[in-house]
Amino acid sequence: MLLTPEQENEINALRKAAKPSLRDVSPGLEDMLYKPIPVLDHGFVRVIDYMGTDAAIVQAARVSYGAGTKKVNEDAGLINYLLRHRHTTPFEMCEIKFHIKLPIFIARQWIRHRTANVNEYSGRYSIMDKEFYVPAPDQLAAQSKSNRQGRGDVLEGAQAARVLQILKENSVKSYAEYEEMMNCNEEGKIFDEGKDGLARELARMNLPVNFYTQWYWKIDLHNLLHFLSLRADSHAQYEIRVYAEAMLDVLKAWVPITYKAFMDYRMGGTSLSAKGLAIVKRMIAGENVTQEDSGMSKGEWRELMQSLDLEEVRKIEVA
């Protein structure tokens, strides 16, 4: 279940009650407003509210009156310049508020980004939903041998089946015991009228971190771009990356000029250290540079080759 009937009714009422606005709006984002974008097995991302568009960024940079003071291609050129040279303040003039439903273990990773305003569903006040995340079989991977916080080869056969069994059985059992301790079910119905249940704030301790939570998450555009540059990256954990990818679709609809610049200069670009830049210059000059004479560690060298798409070339040369 993505949304409760109450949330569905709220969305329908809000969309029917739409009113014209004197402020600049994003047509692409208006079409997406309030609608949930499914993520994982029970999660979603949806936009609750926003302020500003590409025009607001340009307006702030030029300190001008209203939108449309320049041509679109000039606005794009300015936004490209701002992003390329990391002039971030104009991007802080735009804000967006999301409603996000996500597994608790991803929420704990997500909250490390301390540049947003967050209000989370309270397990002290309300009963937690009986919804938990179980990875798809192709996401059941072993621990990587080269990366302490990454995944290796996908598990198969009996081993994969056993992992899924453990996750499902443990989640169902934990929720049943959660209800038992509170002496009531998720609808709030009492099991035994003559018996007090454990307080919700204590009973929730039994729930594993694959259960879902929800929050409202409000952030300015500059910090959203930073979040996306890390969490939509191919090296990010899959479960948080799919949320970031859904938010990239929101970004594209909201501020299309900024989205294009972001994909070009951040997601599709790379940053070189002074040593890395010196090596690139040596390569351009025709020198055959190796890791041994580069002055770089093996890790630095590997990352440089990956960023330049030269990793496979180097393997061929070594072979």
Burial class of 271 by CB neighbour count within 10 A (0 to 12, 13 to 18, 19+): exposed
Is 231 considered catalytic here? yes
Instruction: Find tokens 């030029």 and name the residue.
Output: 62
φ, ψ (nearest 5 deg) of residue 297: -75, 170
Question: What SS3 state is found at 112?
Answer: coil
| Six token digits for residue 291 | 């890791």
d(CA 8, CA 99): 13
C-alpha radius of gyration, the chain, whole number:
24
Do 93 and 113 meet the contact criterion of CB atoms below 8 Å apart? no
Q: Which of 15, 231, 282, 302 is catalytic?
A: 231
Residues whose CB is less than 8 angstroms from the CB of residue 71 and which lie 6 or more positions away in sequence, other chains included: none
Cα dihedral 12, 14, 15, 17 in deg (nearest 10): 120
Instruction: Report how far Cα 169 is from the mean position of its chain's Cα atoms.
Output: 28
d(CA 279, CA 294): 7
Do 296 and 282 meet the contact criterion of CB atoms below 8 Å apart? no
Q: Extract the runs of DSSP E, i.e. beta strands, from the chain.
A: 37-39, 43-51, 95-103, 117-120, 141-143, 151-154, 212-220
Question: What's the distance, Cα to Cα, between the start and end of the chain in Å?
Answer: 53
Active-site positions? 231
